[in-house]
Amino acid sequence: GAVVSQHPSWVICKSGTSVKIECRSLDFQATTMFWYRQFPKQSLMLMATSNEGSKATYEQGVEKDKFLINHASLTLSTLTVTSAHPEDSSFYICSARDLVRGTAKNIQYFGAGTRLSVL
Amino acid sequence: TQLLEQSPQFLSIQEGENLTVYCNSSSVFSSLQWYRQEPGEGPVLLVTVVTGGEVKKLKRLTFQFGDARKDSSLHITAAQPGDTGLYLCAGVRGGGADGLTFGKGTHLIIQP
């Protein structure tokens, strides 16, 4: 099956620093990747849609200057949390849609997530 | 904003019992997906339902999409401890390019 790799799986950083999270589709190409955030005991909330070669589309209430997204290739999207603060601590999950097999039914394959803790 | 209401949020039952999880919305979705998520991991797709009234079976799990494509249910027969986990429904917004709208999830515990 399709595999999406997310790195790092866990990161602790000091308040004010920036953190970059990578999302890679390992065995398929993905023109579209999605970034979600999940707080403890809550569901996933879509943050932004990452499109290869173009600007990301952010959901209402998500600061684009705070959460920088770059989708430079068909297999890699990155999310950078800039000047992180404790309230940014969360579980960040990416997903990728298979260009060939996923388009019709919007089948997305999820990464294992990145737990961010900002001190 | 399209919202998905999922119920119950928490459910703890004995092994061998049956259960149903509901996912409801006032909006129409082009399709609906059910996921299972383990702690500290990403969601894993169980099934996608597309057609109103569609029923899909996955071993002891039965998924149904409402006729109006606004609601869905997951029924588990003879639940086993291995079924324990977080079950999420997710609606696909129209257009094919949008991200998923997730319900709040159902935390299911099957006690041996």
* Chain A to chain B Cβ contacts (< 8 Å): 64
Residue A17 pLDDT > 80, yes or no? yes
Residue A112 pLDDT > 60, yes or no? yes
Share of chain A above pLDDT 90, in %: 68
- Highest mean pLDDT among A19-33, A93-107, B90-104 belongs to A19-33
Q: Does B100 touch chain A (CB under 8 A)?
A: yes
**pLDDT tens per residue, range B22-41:** 999 988 888 899 999 998 88
- The pLDDT of residue A98 is 75
Distance between CA atoms of residues A36 and A80, nearest Å: 13
Residue A16 pLDDT > 60, yes or no? yes
Q: What is the DSSP string of chain A?
A: ---EEEE-SEEEE-TT--EEEEEEESSS--SEEEEEEE-TTS-EEEEEEEETTS--EEPTT--TTTEEEEEEETTEEEEEE-S--GGG-EEEEEEEE-TTTTTTTT-EEE---EEEEE-
- Top pLDDT among A23 and A108 is at A23
Residue A105 pLDDT > 70, yes or no? no
Q: Does B103 touch chain A (CB under 8 A)?
A: yes
Q: Are A95 and B42 inside 8 Å of each other by CB?
A: yes
- The pLDDT of residue B29 is 85
